[in-house]
Amino acid sequence: MTEQPGAVACSVCAAPRDAESPVQALMWVREDERGRVRWLCPRCARTHVRDIEAKLPSEYW
């Protein structure tokens, strides 16, 4: 699956990943939900970490 470079924003707070520092950008979490890719910024990912862990396929660990 091909990602869309430059078109990534947090699915929770809508923060653009491009605005993050390179280090912060690496901490973003990618979720696949029925073929639709969602991204979570580090702040929202931390808030929703339990939900993510429950759904995330093991290949992403």
Contacting residues toward Zn ion, per CB under 5 A: 10, 12-13, 41, 44
Least distance in angstroms from the C-beta of 53 to Zn ion: 17
The rounded Cα 48 to chain-centroid distance in angstroms is: 11
Least distance in angstroms from the C-beta of 28 to Zn ion: 9
Q: Can you spell out the DSSP letters for 11-54?
A: TTT--BGGGS-HHHHHT-EEEEETTEEEEE-HHHHHHTHHHHHH
Least distance in angstroms from the C-beta of 12 to Zn ion: 4
Nearest to Zn ion of 22, 27 (CB atom): 27
